[in-house]
Amino acid sequence: MKKLILVSNDDGYMAKGVRELMAMLAPYGEVVAVCPDQGRSGQSMALTFDAPLRIMEEKSPVEGTKLYSCNGTPVDCVKISCYSVLDGRTPDLVVAGINHGSNAAVNVVYSGTMGAVQEGCSWGVPSIGFSLTTHDPDADFSAVRPVVDAIIPKMLELGMPVGTFINVNVPAGVVDAPISICRECKAHWSEEYKKYEDPMGRTFFMLSGHMINDEPDNPDTDLYALDHGHTSVVVEILDRTAPSPLIPGWIDAMR
């Protein structure tokens, strides 16, 4: 029996990245994609509580696959798939992307693409997200194919430890980029908003800023790998409980 692969993203069902990903995954199983009906970047693991969710079947770009749009968030798309589109079946694999833009370092926290991955992980399903480090809507995603071909068969064969998921970032424009198994870089965003004034004299703000790498010379990190033309592969965990040795004094003080 074919493996069931559920696909989602945060750039919307019309994005080139998810359509390319569907084609890359088609040889590995039954591919069903459920994606937002428009861009939902930065949604993380947001859920829709205050509006009805609707699912529409769309024309799939890849023969033998199915594509649906949903007016919710990426997590909504994954959650509702099992109850509606997949008729109660649990997928063998959840794959999100290919994201237009990097989800390395702290971006994994904000990413709707990685939110979909974490939702799949919370079900106990092996889950992985792919991103390409360019926001070009017509980007060349061919560099991602060898990475998909290297990782997806292994995930289908071996699965993943419960509570873990994979975050993959591929450097744009790099042919046959080496794969580096690394960790999430310590980084933060600076100057995140710019202040403006509209024609009526009212102040408003727009998200801006840039990422600052807090450990630029550390070769163990995903940002270092990407800066040096490598694909970064980071195994993440869903459980956000801090390891107790990091904060023993604080814990003792609270007892």
- Per-residue tens of pLDDT for the chain, all 255 residues: 899 999 999 999 999 999 999 999 999 999 999 999 998 988 889 999 999 999 999 999 999 999 999 999 999 999 999 888 998 899 999 999 999 999 999 999 999 999 999 999 999 999 999 999 999 999 999 999 999 999 999 999 999 999 999 999 999 989 889 999 999 999 998 878 889 999 999 999 998 888 899 999 999 999 999 999 999 999 999 988 877 665 556 556 655
- Compute the distance between CA of residue 59 and CA of residue 66 in angstroms, rounded to an integer: 8
Distance CA 179, CA 130 (A): 13
pTM for the structure as a whole: 0.91
- Identity (one letter) of the amino acid at 49? F
Quote the pLDDT of residue 254.
Answer: 56
SS3 percent helix, strand, coil of the chain, rounded to 5, is 30, 30, 45
DSSP letter for 71, please: S
Of the candidates 113, 165, 117, 127, which has an alpha carbon nearest to the alpha carbon of residue 9?
A: 113
* Backbone region of residue 71 per phi and psi (left: phi > 0; alpha: psi in -120 to 50; beta: other values): alpha
HSE of 125, CA atoms in CB hemisphere, 13 A = 25
Q: Residue 172: CB partners within 8 Å, gap ≥ 6?
A: 132, 133, 134, 136, 139, 140, 143
Question: CA 8, 10, 11, 17 torsion: positive or negative?
Answer: negative
Amino acid 134: pLDDT = 95
How far apart are alpha carbons 22 and 165 in whole angstroms?
A: 19
Q: What is the reported pLDDT for 242?
A: 73
Buried b (16+ CB within 10 A) or exposed e, 184-200: bbebeeeeeeeeeeeee
14 vs 22: CA distance, rounded Å = 12
Environment class of 203 (CB within 10 Å of its CB; exposed 0-12, middle 13-18, buried 19+): exposed
DSSP for 23-63, please give it.
HHHGGGSEEEEEEESS--TT-TT----SS---EEEE--SST
Q: Considering Cα of 238, then 239, then 243, then 248, what sign does the dihedral take?
A: positive
At residue 23, the pLDDT reads: 97
